[in-house]
Amino acid sequence: MQKKGLRLLRELAQRLPEAQWVFAGWGPLDPEAWGLPNVRIVRDARSIDLVPLYQSAELLVLPSVGEGFPLVVQEAMACGTPAMVSEDTAAGAPQAAPLLIREPLDVARWEARIRALLRSGELERLRPRVAAFAREHWSWKGCAARYAGLFIIERP
């Protein structure tokens, strides 16, 4: 589970008590056990249940490594939610790099960047660009059209 960056997320939740941290999913490492009042757990959520969470979030924070470009980043961005990810994760989707907030995996740097983002209003300004990028690159219609362009259709 260290791939998900839960240690760093725990430290961030402790250092940023004014922020509400929502974790969706399950696993052997349980953020509820941290006993932090600003941590909320959503268990057994289906994809449809996650949409309102993504839409209401100011920022997806995912300090994961070794996972490529996780679907959770695409789902959040499709809802207009900016994503802060590790350099490793950002490398998995170079076309999205200009819209991803990236930092080396250092809790002090992540804390400082999140504080600055929350103060600046930058996250709200990013939302329309993030959503437009996701529509252009990851919509079902766009993906299907790209796949169709790969096939050679022979007519009798």
Model confidence pLDDT, tens digit, residues 68-80: 898 999 999 999 9
Domain assignment of residue 155, yes or no: no
Q: Give the 3-state secondary structure of residue 95.
A: helix
Domain assignment of residue 81, yes or no: yes
> What integer pLDDT is reported at residue 1 of this predicted model?
46
- Residue 108 maps to which CATH number? 3.40.50.2000
Domain assignment of residue 6, yes or no: yes
Domain assignment of residue 14, yes or no: yes
Domain assignment of residue 156, yes or no: no
Domain assignment of residue 110, yes or no: yes
Residue 2 has pLDDT above 70, yes or no: no
**Residue 80 structure tokens:** 């207009």
Domain assignment of residue 125, yes or no: yes
Could you tell me the pLDDT band of residue 124, with boundaries at 50, 70 and 90? very high
Q: What does the pLDDT look like over 15-60, one tens digit per residue?
A: 999 999 999 877 777 899 999 999 999 887 766 688 999 999 999 9
Q: For the whole model, what pTM was predicted?
A: 0.87
Q: Give the rounded distance of the alpha carbon of 36 from its chain centre.
A: 22
Residue pointed to by tokens 């949409």: 51
Please tell me the total count of domains within the chain.
Answer: 1
Domain assignment of residue 137, yes or no: yes
CB-hemisphere CA count at 13 Å for 28?
Answer: 3
- Structural domain including 45 reads 2-150
